[in-house]
């Protein structure tokens, strides 16, 4: 698929919402074409504006996170704004199911202004660059007063060709139950929308909260390039580790 101004408007958002309700994630296959995805990776890695943080320094695995900062380049700024517009109604419906009064504004800029007023100014969207034996441990980015309950994870290199291993792994924790692991197969140019905070799950008599964390399994060979788009910023902190809810 070649991205256009109305790419996200053309998706079946009723089906996407239903999958998010039932599983906490949904895969958007071939959101970017092969050459587009590789171009996005090359351009981002060549940028001097990205701030590099090692996962080892965060006690969060091995490899590097390359933070975009507040001023996202294209296409990520457009992806983030367009996807937020579609996901905000889902996030508001989830809050309503859980009896939470908070409602997200329809526009991303309005939501980020709430972030800034609350002291959440640390941008979280980033590339992850993982080589052989690198991995990203289970985590969730959910710190702050204004937390958007969904995020986007996309793959910019080809499994089986550019790297082996490096699967996206989700674990969902439900009350009084064992965690449920899921391996989500992503191909080059695929994106997944995943829960980034507690979400509603319908029990026998009412909705209750379930919590999903994600990880990237160990890369067995080659180099894996991915991108994560967060819709909320984190509280400004001296230590980046405070921006993560780690599964330890």
Domain ranges of the chain: 8-246
Query: What is the pTM for the complete model shown?
Result: 0.91
Give me the CATH code for the 8-246 domain, please.
Answer: 2.60.120.620
| The pLDDT value given to residue 240 | 53
| The pLDDT value given to residue 248 | 44
Asked if 165 contacts 159 with a C-beta cutoff of 8 angstroms, the reply is no
Query: Which residues of the chain fall below pLDDT 50?
Result: 1-2, 238-239, 242, 248
Name the 3-class secondary structure at 5.
coil
| The pLDDT value given to residue 239 | 43
Long-range (24+ apart) CB contacts under 8 A made by 205-210 are: 207/97, 207/98, 208/174, 208/175, 209/98, 209/175, 210/24, 210/172, 210/173, 210/174, 210/175
Residue 225: left if φ>0, alpha if ψ -120 to 50, beta else—which one? beta
| The pLDDT value given to residue 23 | 94
β-bridge partners, 215: 169
Residue 88: left if φ>0, alpha if ψ -120 to 50, beta else—which one? alpha
| The pLDDT value given to residue 71 | 78
């Amino acid at each position: 698929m070649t991205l256009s101004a109305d790419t996200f408007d053309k998706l079946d958002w009723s089906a996407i919402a239903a999958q998010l309700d039932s599983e906490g994630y949904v895969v958007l296959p071939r959101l970017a074409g092969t050459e587009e995805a590789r171009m996005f990776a090359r351009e981002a890695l060549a940028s001097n504006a990205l701030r590099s943080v090692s996962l080892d320094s965060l006690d969060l695995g091995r490899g590097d996170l390359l933070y975009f900062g507040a001023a996202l380049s294209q296409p990520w700024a457009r992806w983030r704004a367009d996807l937020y517009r579609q996901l905000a109604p889902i996030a508001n419906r989830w809050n309503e199911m859980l009896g939470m009064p908070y409602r997200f504004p329809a526009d991303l800029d309005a939501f980020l202004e709430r972030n800034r007023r609350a002291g959440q100014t640390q941008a979280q969207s980033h590339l992850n660059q993982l080589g052989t034996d690198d991995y990203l441990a289970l985590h969730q980015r959910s710190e702050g007063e204004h937390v958007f309950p969904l995020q986007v994870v996309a793959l910019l290199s080809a499994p089986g060709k550019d790297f082996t291993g490096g699967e996206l792994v989700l674990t969902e924790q439900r009350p009084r139950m064992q965690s449920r692991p899921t391996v989500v197969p992503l191909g080059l140019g695929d994106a997944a929308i995943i829960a980034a905070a507690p979400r509603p799950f319908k029990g026998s008599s009412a909705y209750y909260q379930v919590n999903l964390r994600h990880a990237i399994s160990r890369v067995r060979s080659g180099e894996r390039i991915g991108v994560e788009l967060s819709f909320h910023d984190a509280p400004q902190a001296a230590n980046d580790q405070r921006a993560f809810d780690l599964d330890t």
